[in-house]
Amino acid sequence: MPESRDRILIHRLAVFARHGVLPEEETLGQRFYLSLEARLDLGEAGRCDEIGATVSYADLAGLAHRIATERRFRLIEALAETICAEALAAFPQLDALTVRIDKPSAPVPLVLDGVAVEITRTRHA
């Protein structure tokens, strides 16, 4: 079955969390931005105009927000991996999910706008 070209996009969901390797990151916390690109067939939802034929972007965003705020990860790679795994398990309609975690206040002693990790996981891989 080919991967769907249809997408649900969630851009830069802001969360305050305590992820990071350094003790200060756990103590102080910081803002992160979560972006998700869910791939699934949206044809039926477009034809029938019923929420049950799609994945609610509110539910998908809520799942990502809960994981990011209720758990602590040392690596944003682990946060992204957990969001992908749990979303694919929770929403069987998803063919694939791309998760991007932006960490604008990364403790790097250089002038930069931030760092990010982006991963894609597919159901059929």
Does residue 108 carry a pLDDT above 80? no
| pLDDT at position 1 | 47
For 86-100, the pLDDT digits (tens) are: 999 999 999 999 999
The residue among 64 and 125 whose pLDDT is bigger is 64
SS (H, E, C) the chain: CCCCCCEEEEEEEEEEECCCCCHHHHHHCEEEEEEEEEECCCHHHHHHCCHHHCCCHHHHHHHHHHHHHHCCCCCHHHHHHHHHHHHHHHCCCCCEEEEEEEECCCCCCCCCCCEEEEEEEECCC
For 15-41, the pLDDT digits (tens) are: 999 988 888 888 898 999 999 999 999
Rounded to two decimals, the pTM is 0.92
Catalytic residue among 19, 39, 100, 103: 103
**How many C-beta atoms lie closer than 10 Å to residue 44's C-beta?**
13
Look up residue 96 and give its two tokens.
């694939």
Model confidence band, residue 66 (pLDDT cutoffs 50, 70, 90): very high
The rounded percent of the chain whose pLDDT value lies above 70 is: 96
Does residue 113 carry a pLDDT above 90? no
Partners of 30 in the β-ladder = 17
| pLDDT at position 125 | 55
Backbone angles phi, psi at 109, to 5 degrees: -80, 50
50 is an active site residue: no
